[in-house]
Amino acid sequence: GEDVEQSLFLSVREGDSSVINCTYTDSSSTYLYWYKQEPGAGLQLLTYIFSNMDMKQDQRLTVLLNKKDKHLSLRIADTQTGDSAIYFCAESSGSARQLTFGSGTQLTVLP
């Protein structure tokens, strides 16, 4: 079945760039997503990329997709303390109305 993997923790200094990585196994993945979850809250959609794209940029966020290696990354430029949260990678195979999530990466931004 589908599987999405992420590293569990990442710490960066305020002002540095953060890079959160994700790998997936489903070759039929159509859309790949990044969600952010703050304590006690639901999931906030940050961005998503269609599988025929290599890169997508949205303000401080850059998503890179290596379809050959099934590797997705999220780069946050100029990371701020407000970016501290859990970041989830998710995939959808397009025809299924469901997302498969990774375990989430806890990003801690140090002052």
Contact residues: other proteins, CB under 8 A:
30-31, 33, 35, 41-45, 48, 88, 90, 92, 94-104
Minimum distance, C-beta of residue 43 to other proteins, in the bound complex (Å): 4
C-beta closer to other proteins: residue 50 or 77: 50
List, in sequence order, every residue forming a beta bridge with 85; answer none if it has no partner.
107
Residue 12, both tokens: 């960066």
C-beta closer to other proteins: residue 59 or 95: 95
C-beta closer to other proteins: residue 49 or 76: 49
How far apart CA 87 and CA 102 sit, in angstroms, is 9
Minimum distance, C-beta of residue 78 to other proteins, in the bound complex (Å): 25
How far apart CA 56 and CA 90 sit, in angstroms, is 16
How far apart CA 32 and CA 50 sit, in angstroms, is 7
Measure the N-to-C terminal CA separation of the chain; round to a whole number of Å: 41
Minimum distance, C-beta of residue 103 to other proteins, in the bound complex (Å): 5
